[in-house]
Amino acid sequence: MTKDTEVDMKDVELNEVDPEKQPMTGGDTGNGDASSPVTEKNGSVKVKIPEEKESKFTGLSKEELLKVAGTPGWVKARWALLILFWLGWIGMLAGAVVIIVQAPRCKPLPEMNWWDYGALYQIGDVNSFTENGLEGLQKKIDDVGKLKVKGLIIGPIHASNADKPEDLNLKEISSDIGNLEQLKRVIETAHKKSISVVLDLTPNYKGTDPWFSNSSVAQVTNKVKSATDFWLEEGMDGILLHGVEQITVDSFWTNMRDAIKNHTKDEKKKVLIGVTTVKSADEVRKELNRTGVDLLLSGVLNLISGVEIAQVVESLYSTDQETDLAWNIGDRVRGHLASIVTSARVKLSQLLLFTLPGTPVFNYGDEIGLEDSQTDVDPTMVWLNSTEKEEGDNLKFFKEASDLRGKERSLQHGEYLLLSNSTSAMAYLRKWDQSERYIVALNWHPSDSVTLQLTQKELPGKATVVISTDAKQLAANTNVNLAELTVGPQQAVMLKFPYTP
């Protein structure tokens, strides 16, 4: 084979290459023009796939729905569902009616005034309570607020000389105590702490007779009425008067009640407090009815016998349920709690005052067991550190009992029921509607324990200790058997148990 023949054979091989392996050119564009330029790269093939039409679900037509809905199966299903719906609705309505009918109805709350929510705190001699008179008192309002009291009774602080009615000026503050601007700051600071302020306006507080003498009563009462209007205008929340049994002129008490009523603003009522020397329950009732004061303090609790105390409380509570009761042991005239009941019974007496129906009233220092000297019923106040470690035991107990008194409805306005009483001990129940019930048991005996058998029908078998003067024997949150409740000598305990329908 010649060289020319070999060249021809290579040309043939190239022409016979598989068309799939041959480079692609523009080729025929469909218009018969074989010389059209190349529009695709070698090896690339453009394939056009026709788009598929998107299929949409249109659901059943109206005619188809009507046809299906009319079938016997669907008709029965719809009736079954409808019947179930109405039966369920009627059942829920009937259940709600049964619950409402069977549930015990809440007892309407009695009308409450600010002095019904907690204790009042008396500061007779401002200079003995704190240094710098009224200015120093303002700085101590925060400490007083920690006692959870609802009101302060200040004074008397007006200018007066003993047994000299001609020197009496009830609208002027004694210069050794302070001035009007300082008193206004005391009132403002107290109000910020939700503490009301009452002024002791007893005329002859430095003398032997609170109203000087019988011959001067008419003149003095006119001054008291005028001064009452003045001090209520200055922001005082009430007036206190000692020796109310000496004022026998009914018009005076009518005028005083009118003054209190006329100065009541923003639904916060002003209070009129009387203090009497009478000691029997019958005499206290007479003075309450005659004077019409909001609260009357007396010496009815200055008794040792549990039987006597129980009788006094029963007598006053049962016959004067529409009248607010007030309880105190000692005041700026008679002295401090610890000096009257002895230091061993301070906490017992605190618990008694806090848990009786009515308003408890304490003298300054009663919270720490402050005692009078032999010649002075206005001892200098002792200020204890408020930390848990250094705070006095009496003070901690006072704060805890005061806090409970301000929170629990059964203690604020609940019913009082005597459970047991003897010469040295007594126990009573405080309850209100569906609130927790509280049992208070006290033993005045100086050396013997007492075991009380509290088995009344409305009492459970056991109750829980809330607060006790003897934390070792009756620790808080422990359960005790009411059928055999033992209280140590000069000790007291408060228990609680839940309301059950």
- Per-10-residue mean pLDDT, the chain, length 501: 48 48 47 46 52 60 73 81 90 85 74 93 96 94 96 96 92 95 97 97 93 83 94 96 89 93 83 92 90 92 81 78 77 94 94 95 96 90 68 90 95 93 93 94 94 94 96 93 95 95 80
Looking at the structure, do residues 408 and 439 belong to the same domain, yes or no? Answer: no
Report the CATH number that the domain containing residue 493 is assigned in CATH: 2.60.40.1180
pLDDT digits (tens, 9 = 90+) for 3-42: 454 444 544 444 454 444 445 444 444 444 444 444 444 4
322: in domain? yes
Beta-sheet pairing, 295-297 with 271-275: parallel
Distance between CA atoms of 122 and 153, rounded to whole angstroms?
5
Looking at the structure, do residues 185 and 242 belong to the same domain, yes or no? Answer: yes
Task: Give Cβ neighbours of residue 144 (< 8 Å, ≥ 6 apart).
Answer: 121, 152, 190, 193, 195
Q: What are 360's strand-pairing partners?
A: 327
Give the closest residue to 241 by CA, choosing from 258, 261, 221: 221
Helices and strands, number each (H, E), in the chain: 15, 18
Q: How many domains does the chain have?
A: 2
Chain-centroid distance of CA 317 in Å reads 24
Looking at the structure, do residues 125 and 166 belong to the same domain, yes or no? Answer: yes
Looking at the structure, do residues 128 and 180 belong to the same domain, yes or no? Answer: yes
Report the CATH number that the domain containing residue 233 is assigned in CATH: 3.20.20.80
> Cβ distance 185 to 133 under 8 Å?
no
- Look at residue 15 and give its three-state secondary structure: helix
27: in domain? no
Looking at the structure, do residues 219 and 359 belong to the same domain, yes or no? Answer: yes
83: in domain? no
Domain boundary among 387, 413, 439: 413
Q: How many CB atoms lie within 10 A of CB 316?
A: 24
82: in domain? no
Distance between CA atoms of 183 and 417, rounded to whole angstroms?
42
Sign of CA dihedral 170, 171, 175, 179: positive
Count Cα neighbours of 144 within 13 Å in the Cβ-side half-sphere: 35
350: in domain? yes
3: in domain? no
Q: What angle do CA 396, 404, 328 make, to 5 degrees?
A: 75
Task: Give Cβ neighbours of residue 400 (< 8 Å, ≥ 6 apart).
Answer: 467
89: in domain? no
Given the structure tokens 């109405």, which residue do they identify? 86
Q: Which two tokens stand for residue 361?
A: 């009233």
Give the closest residue to 485 by CA, choosing from 427, 445, 416, 405: 427
> Cβ distance 219 to 249 under 8 Å?
no
Residue 54 has a pLDDT of 56
One-letter amino acid identity for 452? L
DSSP string computed for 65-120: HHHHHTSHHHHHHHHHHHHHHHHHHHHHHHHHHHHHHHSPPPPPPPP--GGGSS-E
Distance between CA atoms of 494 and 485, rounded to whole angstroms?
11
Residue 322 has a pLDDT of 47
Domain boundary among 413, 448, 483: 413
Looking at the structure, do residues 248 and 389 belong to the same domain, yes or no? Answer: yes
77: in domain? no
Q: Where are the beta strands (DSSP E) in 120-242?
A: 120-123, 151-154, 158-161, 164-173, 196-200, 238-242
Sign of CA dihedral 240, 246, 251, 252: negative
DSSP 162: T
Label each residue of 389-458 as H, E or C. Answer: CCCCHHHHHHHHHHHHHHHCHHHHHCEEEEEEECCCEEEEEEECCCCCEEEEEEECCCCCCEEECCCCCC
Looking at the structure, do residues 361 and 424 belong to the same domain, yes or no? Answer: no
Looking at the structure, do residues 227 and 130 belong to the same domain, yes or no? Answer: yes
Beta-sheet pairing, 359-363 with 326-327: parallel
Looking at the structure, do residues 467 and 499 belong to the same domain, yes or no? Answer: yes
Looking at the structure, do residues 243 and 224 belong to the same domain, yes or no? Answer: yes
Residue 59 has a pLDDT of 67
Beta-sheet pairing, 238-242 with 271-275: parallel
Distance between CA atoms of 456 and 420, rounded to whole angstroms?
10
Q: Is 60 exposed, middle or buried (0-12, 13-18, 19+ CB in 10 A)?
A: exposed
- At 359, give phi and psi (nearest 5°): -100, 120
Looking at the structure, do residues 335 and 382 belong to the same domain, yes or no? Answer: yes
> Cβ distance 318 to 326 under 8 Å?
no
Domain boundary among 392, 413, 434: 413
Residue 2 has a pLDDT of 46
Looking at the structure, do residues 196 and 250 belong to the same domain, yes or no? Answer: yes
Task: Give Cβ neighbours of residue 129 (< 8 Å, ≥ 6 apart).
Answer: 123, 137, 140, 364, 381
Domain span including residue 454: 414-501
Residue 264 has a pLDDT of 81
Q: Could you check whether the bond before residue 156 is cis, i.e. omega within 30 degrees of 0?
A: yes
Given the structure tokens 């009301």, which residue do they identify? 196
Residue 32 has a pLDDT of 45
